[in-house]
Each structure stands twice: as structure tokens, then as C-alpha cells.
A and B are shown apart, each in its own frame.
Chain A
Amino acid sequence: MTPRRKRLTAVVLVLVGVSIATGLALRAFRDNVVLYFTPAEVAQGKANGKRAFRLGGMVLKGSVVRQPGSLTLRFDVTDYIRTLTVNYTGVLPDLFREGQGVVVHGSLANGEFMADEVLAKHDEKYMPRDIAGKIAPPPGVNP
């Protein structure tokens, strides 16, 4: 092969590789990008028709109810505008506490949220992503 042909082959190979990679990545993006909503946004119907999404908010104080002896529990997540009841079966992360922020992954069923995952974050100052920005307690409310 001449050097020019060789270079051309290399460039074509690289281009093919990059486009296959981009195509696959974009497909993965479409299927796996998880949207994030607050209870108020869910109430507005923004989450309707979505298979699974993340719900973020504060765990309402006194709302955690556990079926005695089982891993199943319910709690309310609020953004101080609306409140949504969450059902979950499994071990809770250490950072889950009443009155604190939480992000859960799951889907809506019969007006309640069925969580398959309660998320813990790596950060030393635990605040689920974007709760800080989207939700602020109204003055005088102690979550």
C-alpha cells in the first residue's frame, strides 16, 4: 500500500469505529437516561407515561410506616407543594432519615410511587442532587 492509501485506510477505520460507537452510545442514552421529578411536577402530570424516573424530595417527618417484621415500608416524599407516597421493599441506605432529602428510583402505580431503589450518594455533605435547588422549605417550616 502507498503511504497515502495507508493513511486513508486508517482514517476510514477510525471514522467507522467512531460512528459505530456514537450510534450505540446514543441508543444507550435514549433507553437509559433517567428523568428526575419532584412531587409537584408529578402532580402536574409531567411524569405520566414515563416508565421509570427518579423522584426527589424530603421524607416527611412521621410518615415512615413499616409492616412489622418485613422489609416493606411506605413513606411520604414532599417538596412542600405536593406530597407523594412511596412504597419500597429492601434495606434502606444509612443516609435515609425522616426530615431529610431522598432520591428514589421507580415508577408510578395507582397514584403511588413504587420504588425499586433508594439512593445513597457519595458525597460528604449528603444532599441529593438538585434537591437543594428545586426545593426549599417555606419560611417557618421545619422539615
Chain B
Amino acid sequence: MTAELGQIALILALCLALSQTVFGLVGAHRGWANWMAVVRPATIGQAGFVALAFLLLVSAFLGNDFTVQYVAFNSNSELPTVYRVAAVWGAHEGSMLLWALILALWSLAVALLSRSLPNAFASRVLGVLGTISTGILLFILLTSNPFTRAMPAPFDGNDLNPLLQDPALAMHPPILYTGYVGFAVAFAFACAAMIEGKLDQAWARWTRPWTIVAWLFLTVGITLGSWWAYYELGWGGWWMWDPVENASFMPWLVGTALVHSLAVTERRGLFRSWTLLLAIFAFSLSLIGTFLVRSGIIVSVHAFASDPMRGVFILALLAAYILGALMLYAWRAGQLRSSSGFELWSRESFILFNNILLVIAAALIFIGTLYPLILALLKLGTITIGPPVFQLMFLIAIIPLIGLLAVGMHSSWKRARLAPVKTRLIAIAAVAAVLAAILLFTFGGRVRLIVFMGLFLAIATMFSAVSEPIARLRRGLSIPRGAVGMFVAHFGVGLFTLGATAASTYQVEKDVSIALGQSEKLAGYEFKLADLRMVEGPNYVARQADVIISDSQGRVITTLHPQKRIYRVQQQPMTEAGIDVNWQRDLFVALGDDLGDGKWSLRLQYKPLIRYLWLGSLIMALGGILAASDRRYRTAIAGERAAVGAATERA
């Protein structure tokens, strides 16, 4: 019965999403208060029914109901309970339902927290969100129904892909989607403003916290994904410029630009049409990301062509939302021109260049990701664009960006005076240069300009982010929480840059063939393969190695236990790396195959400062939390953060 109830709940949710759209948009257009009064209940009801459908799917997983095809394909009676829940979003159908649920919860949050907004405006926002809900629910019901029954029902399920049986990856999709889908709120605010033909600074103040919260979830989601890839894929890379990764990174770049551009619109009333455009693009790229990952087009354009229904449906949705919003923009943006100007040397300029560079980075990655797909679709040959291309393209945009950031934090609105901060800037640059040089020589090896630049900019950014607030406090100025968030996030950027530069330049990696009792040296550490034995997990067996690591003086640092697991159902091997962490470096050991002759293959890695890149990303997100909780948003939209927090917990 659960499956049928789930199906019915989805259909009811669809009906309510439709009424949310119609009553919201038509009611606001005609000014009918009684129609607009229906929007909030419809939104709440929609969220309730989507949540019900989702919970029914969860209960089908928990109860091992293998008569449901989706459960049979992605779960197994041996699967630990926590992963049975995570398996709900382990494949296409369930993750689409998760997408719909998160959208419904964001809509719910907007419905509950928008009472201080003008009634017509709030109705339009919810109406636009309703169109998106309608599209995604239709998509689920018509092409990707997770409640389809399996006939005949199998005795046991196919199990969840072992790669996904991991705490970080269990949390990764909900958090990432909360970010992705959160941009729908900014998109809806933008569309509502365009429909009304009115965009003022109050609009930016309403939109800003929503956008920041979406952005910070996306930041955490991408960080988790990167961390997972590092330890779970077994081979120690933290970013491969894989299309799946790029799909989440492009909306992040544009979303970051949006967060900054909104700041200018709120404080100075400038960049209005540009902000709208960014809001449209941030959400469009989220949709494209979903499409890229979920249509199967990345894996093979042919797989896409052989099961075209889903792909074509998402493509049609994409076209409808993106083109619709852009047409609205073309029609209305002309009315939204801003009148005031700014000096070339001002915070507005810095943010303008920040926006241009972020958008260039996103555009280059977009071209690099889609170019091979388009070639393949047109049958012009199969190519891959390797990580070096992306790296170079990204660095072109990001090096000047971080340079501008280190200076821009000291600037002020409208017209910045450089003279008062000149001495401080020179001091920061000098200290950063000396520290970067020291780091460069501590690590040793060939001195490369780009590495020096990376370290220098990282340190300069961190110093700037600390020195500017101190200087303000000294002058007796108070720093609002929004600004604290800004400094914290920018400090995170510096820390990330430091970690990313050091880890990608000075990592040492070695594949070795080693017998029991033998040892191998890497980066001044000795790795000894001390023991090998079989261990048993809930749904896998594993060969586990004891690798004793000692430093150059022969002192034992730690014993790592890398595993090679075989999951019983899918018979797929999985490498669980052993990692030793401290504030200076990671030591990484992955166990490979039996090479015969009593020897085993091991992959050893030394990654200096790699933790800082994830830590830096999390600090960026922390900055987002601080900025979004600034008092000036709370007076307007009280209690907002609490509700978003609760919404995420339920997701």
C-alpha cells in the first residue's frame, strides 16, 4: 500500500503546486486578495504531501519492501539502517524526489517567513516557486516514478552501490541540493520583481539572506563531495574537474557572484539588472547541473539517446524556465536602470571585477564541460578535456580575483581612499611575501612563480581579513555581523588557497610493491607493511593491512588500517584508505591487489596542508552563516534562519 499512497501523495502535491502557481500569479496580477489568500495554504499543503511521499519511500526502504522496484534496485536486507535511509537518494528517482522535497521545504520557509513582505509580491514569489514545483513533480510522475512496483518482486534487493555507503556521501546530496534548489528562491524573487517591474533596495535586502543560505549549503555540499572523493575513491585526489564536479561548481561560482552583486544592490541600489541576470543564471546552472548529472548524458550521449524521455523532459523544463526568465528580463530589465554612479576606485568597482572574473571562470568551465558533449552529440568525435585545461582556465580568472579580494576588503563604498590604508597594504604585502618565500624554501624543490603567487595571495588575503576589522575596531567603529561574516568568509578563501596551492604542488605519491614485513620510504616517513588479515563488516568482507608509519628518527607515529572491501551482494571491491592527519600534512595509504610472490601493491601519499582547503571552505560557509544572521535581515524577516535550519534537518 505504501507505494500507492506515495503515488497519490505526489499527485495531490502536483495539484496543490498547480494551484500555488495559478492563485499566486493570477491573484497578484488581478489584485484579488481572496485568490492570494489561497497561496500560502497551497504551498504548505504541497510541502506536506511531498514530505509524506518522501517519508513513505523512506519507510519502504526501512521495511525492505522489495516489491517497489526502486527499493529492490538500491537496497538490500543486509544494508545497515542508516544507509537504507541514504539509499533513498542513491539513484535517479529518489534523488529527484529529494529535489522536489527540498524545493517544497524552501517554498514552505518562504511561505511562513514572508508575511512582512507586500502581499502581491509574496504571492508572485510563491507562484514562481509553484511553477518549478509543478515541473519537477510532473517530471517525477511521468518519467521517474520511485513508487513503481516490481513484477515479480525479487526475494532480496540489489544493494546500494558500495561507493555510496559512506557517511559523507550519505549527507552530500541533501546538503548539495539544499544549495542548488535554494537558488530557486533567488530566482523566484528575481522573476517576481521583473513581473512587478519594480526592484528597490528593500528587494535586495529580502533576497540576500535567502541567497546566502543557499550559497553556504552549496559550499558545504561541494566540500563534502570533494572530501569524499579524496578518501573514498581511494586515490587521494580532491578535485578532478570531472563533469559531475563541474556541474556543482558552476552554480557555485555564479551564486558567489550573485551574493556579492546583491550586496551592491542592497547598499547602493546599483547593478540591478545584473543582479537579476545572475539570479537567473545561478538557478539555471543548478538546473543544468541536475540535468547533466541525472540524464546520463555525461556517462554516454548514447545512453541519453537510447532513453530519451527523461533527458528530453528535463531539457524542455530547462528551456521553459531559462528562456521564460530571460524573456521576462529582456522585457522588463530596461525599466530597472540605476541612476547613481561610483568612482573607479571604490568597493563597487572591486565587486564589479569580482563578478566579471567569477562569471568568466564559470563560462570557461561551462564551455570545457559541454564542448565534448556537443562534439559527441554531433558525432564529430570523442574527446576529453583534461584537468590541466580546467586548471589553467580557472587560474586565469582566480589569481586576479584573489589579488583584488586582498586589496578590496580595505575599500569603502562609493569612493575609496587608498592613502589611509596604503601603509597597511604595503606591510601586509611585505609580510606575506616573506612568509610565502619561507614556505617556498621549507617545502624545497623548484621555485615556481605561480606557486609563490598562490602562497603569497593566500597569506595576504588572510592577513587582510584579520587586519581590516582590527583597524576598524581601533578607530572605534562597530562591525555589524554581516561584515564579520564577510571577513570570516574571505579568511576562508585565503586558507583554502593556501591548502590548495600546497597540496597540489608538494604532494608526493608512490605506488609500491611490498612484501609483509618490508618497508618503504616516502617524504621522510617510513611505511611498514606489518600485517594482513581478513575482517568482516555488516555487508562486506575486507582484507585489512596494518601499516606502521615512523618518522625519520624511527619513532612510530601511527598504525593505519587500509582495507580492500568486497561487498557481498554486488561483489564490487572498494578501497578504504588509511589516513593519518595532523595540522601539517596527511599521510595516505591505500591497499591495492595481491601481486603474487607474496607481494602487495600499496599506494602511498604525502599531502601537505591539504586539510586547510576543506577547512577554508567550511570557514567560507561559516562566514555565510554569520552574514545571513545579521540583525538587519532579522528585523525584516524574523525567525528565518531557524526555519531554514529546521527545513534542512527534515530533508
> Taking beta carbons and an 8 Å cutoff, which residues of A are in contact with B?
1, 3, 6, 9-10, 14, 17-18, 20-21, 24-25, 28-29, 31-36, 54, 66, 68-71, 89-95, 120-125, 127, 129-134
Q: What residues of B have a CB within 8 angstroms of the CB of A36 in the complex?
A: 381-384
A-B CB contact pairs (8 Å), 25 listed: A1-B344, A17-B360, A24-B392, A25-B367, A25-B393, A28-B392, A32-B385, A33-B384, A35-B382, A66-B596, A68-B599, A69-B595, A71-B511, A71-B595, A71-B601, A91-B593, A94-B574, A94-B575, A122-B229, A122-B233, A124-B164, A125-B299, A127-B303, A130-B300, A134-B382
**Residues from chain B with Cβ under 8 Å of A93 in the complex:** 234-235
> Contact: A34 with B385, CB < 8 Å?
yes
* Alpha-carbon separation in the docked complex, A35 to B385 (Å): 9
A115 shortest CB reach to chain B, Å: 13
* B304 to A, closest residue via Cβ: A133
B300 contacts which of A6, A33, A90, A133 (Cβ < 8 Å)?
A: A133
Residues of A within 8 A of B164 (CB): 124
**B residues engaging A (CB < 8 A)?**
90-91, 161, 163-164, 229, 233-235, 240, 242, 244-245, 298-303, 341, 344, 352, 356, 360, 364, 367, 376, 381-386, 388-389, 392-393, 396-397, 511-513, 515, 572-575, 590, 592-593, 595-599, 601-603
Whole-angstrom distance between the alpha carbons of A66 and B595 in the complex?
7
Q: Are A91 and B511 in contact (CB under 8 A)?
A: yes
Q: Given A122-B244, A130-B376, do A28 and B574 touch, yes or no (CB 8 Å)?
A: no
Task: Give the complex CA separation of A78 and B302 in angstroms.
Answer: 19
The reply to whether A127 and B299 form a contact with Cβ atoms under 8 Å apart is yes
Main secondary structure of the interface of B (DSSP, over half): mixed
* Closest 9 A/B residue pairs (Cβ): A133-B302, A69-B597, A68-B596, A91-B592, A68-B597, A36-B382, A69-B599, A132-B300, A28-B392
When chains A and B are docked, how far (Å) is the Cα of A127 from the Cα of B306? 15
Report A-chain residues with C-beta under 8 Å of the C-beta of B244.
122-123
Q: How far is the CB of A102 from chain B (nearest CB, A)?
A: 14
- Return chain A residues, CB-CB under 8 Å to B515: 69
Residues of the B chain whose Cβ atoms lie less than 8 Å from the Cβ of A92: 592-593, 601
Q: Is the CB of A32 within 8 A of B386?
A: yes
Q: Of B233, B299, B300, B303, which is in contact with the most chain A CB atoms at under 10 Å from its CB? A: B299
Q: With contacts A6-B344, A124-B90, A130-B301 known, what are 18 further pairs, Cβ within 8 A?
A: A1-B344, A3-B341, A9-B344, A10-B352, A21-B364, A21-B396, A31-B388, A33-B384, A35-B381, A54-B384, A66-B596, A69-B595, A90-B511, A94-B234, A95-B572, A127-B300, A129-B300, A132-B302
Q: Is the CB of B303 within 8 A of A133?
A: yes
Known contacts A21-B397, A91-B601; A32 and B388 CB within 8 A of each other: yes
